[in-house]
A = this chain, B = another copy of it.
Amino acid sequence: MMKNISRAQLKNASLEQLNALCEQLREEIFRTVSACGGHLSSNLGAVELTVALHRVFDFPRDKLVFDVGHQCYAHKLLSDRAALFHTLRQEGGISGFPKRGESVYDCYGAGHAGTAISAALGIAKARDLKQEDFSVVALVGDGSFQNGLIFEALNSLAVLKTNILIVLNDNGMSISPTEGATQDILDGLKTGERDARLFEQFGLTYMGGVNGNELGSLLPALEEAKTKLKAGSVLLHVTTRKGLGYPFSENAPTETHGFSPKPAPQSKYPAALGEELIRLAEKDSRVVVVTAAMTDSLGLRPFFERFPDRAFDVGICEEHGCVLAAALAAEGMRPYYAIYSTFLQRAFDEVIHDVCGQNLPVTFCIDHAGITGPDGETHQGVFDLSYLSFIPNLTVGIPKDIGEMRAMLRMGANYGGPFAIRYPLLGSEGPVCPVERGKFEILHSTTSDIIVLAAGERCIKLAEEAAEILRGEAEFTLVNARFLKPLDAELLASRAEKYVVTIEDNVVTGGLGDAVARFYRDSGKFVKCFGYADAFIPHGEAGSLAAKYGLDRDEIVSCLRELHARG
Residues in chain A within 8 A of chain B (CB atoms): 65, 100, 107-109, 111-112, 114-115, 118-123, 125-127, 129-130, 146-160, 179-182, 184-185, 194, 197-198, 201-203, 285, 288, 309-310, 312-315, 317, 319-320, 323-333, 342-343, 345-346, 348-350, 352-354, 356-358, 377-378, 383, 386-387, 389-393, 507, 509-510, 514-515, 517-518, 521-522, 526-529, 534-536
Give the residues in chain B near A521, CB-CB below 8 Å: 517, 527-529
Q: Contacts A109-B357, A330-B123: A155 and B159 contacting too (C-beta < 8 A)? A: no
A160 CA to B122 CA in the complex, in Å?
A: 34
Give complex CA distance A394, B146 in Å.
30
- With A179-B159, A509-B389, A528-B522 already in contact, the answer to whether A323 and B109 are too (CB < 8 A) is no
A306 smallest CB distance to B (angstroms):
15
User: Would you list 8 pairs from A and B whose C-beta atoms are within 8 A, ordered by A residue?
Assistant: A119-B330, A149-B320, A155-B180, A158-B180, A342-B349, A348-B348, A389-B510, A522-B526
Contacts of A120 in B (CB 8 A): 327
Q: Is the CB of B326 within 8 A of A119?
A: yes
Q: Are B149 and A155 in contact (CB under 8 A)?
A: no
**How often does this chain occur in the complex, in copies?**
2
Are B201 and A181 within 8 A (Cβ)?
A: yes
The CA-CA distance from A108 to B355 in the complex, in Å, is 11
Q: Which 10 A-B pairs rank lowest in CB-CB distance, beginning with the nearest?
A: A148-B148, A122-B327, A126-B331, A152-B320, A118-B323, A152-B317, A151-B151, A345-B349, A348-B348, A390-B509
CB distance from A197 to the nearest CB of B (A): 6
Q: In the complex the two chains form, what is the Cα distance from A537 to B156 in whole Å? A: 34
Is the CB–CB distance between B345 and A352 below 8 Å?
Answer: yes
Q: Are B534 and A390 in contact (CB under 8 A)?
A: yes
Q: Which of A123, A125, A285, A315 is most buried by chain B, counting CB atoms within 10 A of its CB? A: A125
Q: Determine if B180 and A156 form an interchain contact, defined as CB atoms under 8 angstroms apart.
A: yes
Nearest chain B residue, comparing its CB with the CB of A201 = B185
Nearest chain B CB to A552 CB, angstrom units:
19
Q: How far is the CA of A217 from the CA of B157 in the complex (A)?
A: 35
Given A155-B181, A155-B317, A156-B315, A357 contacting B377 (CB threshold 8 A): yes
Which of the residues B114, B119, B123, B152 comes within 8 Å of A315, measured between beta carbons? B152
A328 touches which one: B126, B153, B202, B342 (CB < 8 A)? B126
Q: Return chain B residues, CB-CB under 8 Å to A323.
A: 115, 118-119, 122, 149, 153
Q: Contact between B108 and A330 (Cβ–Cβ < 8 Å)? A: yes
C-alpha gap A345/B356 in the complex (Å): 14
**B130 close to A158 (CB less than 8 A):** no
Are B156 and A122 in contact, with the CB atoms below 8 A? no
A348 CB contact (under 8 Å) in B119, B349, B526: B349
Nearest CB in chain B: distance from A277 CB, A: 16
- Cα distance A349–B349 in the bound complex, in angstroms: 10
Q: In the complex, are the beta carbons of A345 and B345 less than 8 A apart?
A: no
Cβ of A100 to closest chain B Cβ, rounded Å: 5
Besides the known contacts A122-B327, A194-B201, 13 further A-B residue pairs in the complex with CB atoms under 8 A apart: A108-B330, A111-B353, A115-B350, A119-B326, A122-B329, A123-B331, A126-B332, A127-B331, A130-B331, A146-B155, A148-B151, A343-B349, A357-B536
Q: In the complex, what residues of B have CB within 8 A of residue A378's CB?
A: 353, 357
Q: Are B348 and A536 in contact (CB-based, < 8 A)?
A: no
- Known contacts A509-B390, A517-B521; is-contact A349 B112 (Cβ 8 Å): yes
Instruction: Report B-chain residues with C-beta under 8 Å of the C-beta of A194.
Output: 201
Closest to A156 in B: B314
A535-B394 Cα distance, complex, nearest whole Å: 10
Hey, which chain B residues are within 8 Å of A514, CB to CB?
Answer: 510, 514, 517-518
Q: Please give, as numbers and ranges, the residues of chain B lying within 8 Å of A393 by CB-CB distance.
A: 536
Q: Give Cα A100–Cα B376 distance, bound, in whole angstroms.
A: 41
> A159 CA to B180 CA in the complex, in Å?
6
Residues of B within 8 A of A159 (CB): 179-181, 313-315
Looking at the assembled complex, report how far the CB atom of A310 sits from the nearest CB atom of chain B, in whole angstroms.
7
Query: Closest CB-CB distance, A285 to chain B, in whole Å?
Result: 8
